[in-house]
Structure 1
Amino acid sequence: MTLSFASQALIDAGRWIDQRGWCPATGGNFSMRLGDDRALVTASGRHKGYLTDEDFLQVNLAGEAITPGKPSAETLVHTALYRLSPQIGAVLHTHSVASTVLSRLTPGDHLPLEGFEMQKSLQGNLTHEATVCLPIFDNTQDMQILAEQIEQRWRARPLQWGLLVRGHGLYAWGQTIDEARRHLEGLEFLFACEMEMRRLGGRG
């Protein structure tokens, strides 16, 4: 993965995500794996709809900056995911209304989704008849704790496609940036459907 390709791919993703209102203000952060031991991440406090090449830095998989810049504290979640699976090539963390609200409305440690054709947008899921369970983690300002909790749950059963942080937002990932974008878009559609079902009395 070349640095220039990764930077442009994340810039393009940021503009696309911003147009959909999934990452308001300076919230969220994006990353791509550059190799076995490093990743490119968005710097702290940057609006994701207006990213430039200057808004990225490289970190090792411990989340430490190896080029100038200040990584977001949430970088620790990105690098934990890269350590857990060599198949993950990109991570997109967003703050949409649907993901934020739905994560608060849902008790327990996972969000079940079933009966929607769009479930087939998620890698390996071939039917609407399956139940997709997206893990939910309680929010914390200590990203090291959150990263450790993700690792613990992953060791018990590898996570797929993404995860929710309660009252915070979504982390979606994929083997490539295109797959991460597809998972993000598919999950956001599913969240919107689930929210509408609940509003109309069809869930909960």
Structure 2
Amino acid sequence: MSNAPVQNILEAGRWIDAQGWCPATGGNFSERVGSNEARITASGRHKGRLEAADLLRVDLDGRVLGSDLTPSAETLLHCCLYRLDAQIGAVLHTHSVNSTVLSRLTAGDSLQIEGFEMQKALRGNHTHDEAIDIALFDNTQDMQALAAEVQARWSQAPLSWGLLVRGHGLYAWGRDMSEARRHLEALEFLFACIMDMKRLGARI
């Protein structure tokens, strides 16, 4: 089996840590391998100091394959996303200040973003003129319940690029790790812009 998913996750971890988007041991990253398996970070690992031994294999029901490592609590949500969309190839879950605070300041079940050129970095979005929605879910320690809520929302309309969990952080995804990283970076930029506008008293 190729080591590319392992290297992709290790490199993403170092990059994300350098941005300050995953303090302490928060967050988790994964990449799909084949049709029914993923590599994912184990629980309690600092994302800027990941090694190959800190990753484990899971099937898309979240069952650990051939490892004694403990999977992250959010593994079930990663697996849910892979099952919902066969085109999702990588998922990055981060705990940045901007995504966490903005998720708590936003009422309702989505964050609407419009008027920013950076929206064009998100696959399928070609203009700053159209509003985009990032789905927002209430936080819970029950990952099965959260996965069920995501699945229920998805059945109404597929989610694009990422989702926010209130007071928790961002899940961003893409067709491969490169696209997941681009979506993550674009969304974090957009969140930072919105937060700065709020600090300046703009009505948005």
Alignment correspondent of 2:57: 58
**Counterpart Cα distance in 2 of 1:128 and 1:39:** 34
Alignment correspondent of 1:159: 159
Alignment correspondent of 1:86: 86
**Counterpart Cα distance in 1 of 2:124 and 2:66:** 36
Alignment correspondent of 1:105: 105
Alignment correspondent of 2:5: 6
Aligned to 1:59, what secondary structure does the other structure show?
A: strand
**Counterpart Cα distance in 2 of 1:3 and 1:47:** 24
**Counterpart Cα distance in 2 of 1:176 and 1:64:** 22
Alignment correspondent of 2:132: 132
Q: TM-score, normalised by structure 2?
A: 0.98
**Counterpart Cα distance in 2 of 1:198 and 1:124:** 27
Alignment correspondent of 2:32: 33
The Cα of 1:3 is off from its aligned counterpart by 4.0
8 Å contact from structure 1 (residues 3, 34) kept in 2: no
Q: Aligned partner of 1:48: which letter?
A: K
Q: Aligned partner of 2:187: which letter?
A: L
Q: Aligned partner of 2:126: which letter?
A: L
Q: Aligned partner of 1:57: which letter?
A: L
Instruction: Give every structure 1 segment of 4 or more consecutive aligned residues whose post-TM-superposition deviation is greater than 6 Å.
Output: none
Paired residues in the alignment total 203
**Counterpart Cα distance in 1 of 2:81 and 2:106:** 24
**Counterpart Cα distance in 2 of 1:198 and 1:132:** 18
The Cα of 1:203 is off from its aligned counterpart by 2.7
8 Å contact from structure 1 (residues 114, 130) kept in 2: yes
Aligned to 1:49, what secondary structure does the other structure show?
A: helix
Percent of counterpart pairs with the same letter?
A: 63
- Could you tell me which runs of 5 or more consecutive residues in structure 2 were left unpaired when the two chains were aligned: none
Alignment correspondent of 1:178: 178
* CA RMSD of superposed structures (Å): 0.7
Alignment correspondent of 2:190: 190
Alignment correspondent of 1:122: 122
**Counterpart Cα distance in 2 of 1:202 and 1:179:** 31
The Cα of 1:200 is off from its aligned counterpart by 1.0
Question: Does residue 1:23 correspond to 2:33, yes or no?
Answer: no
- Could you tell me which runs of 5 or more consecutive residues in structure 1 were left unpaired when the two chains were aligned: none
**Counterpart Cα distance in 2 of 1:16 and 1:51:** 11
Aligned to 1:93, what secondary structure does the other structure show?
A: strand
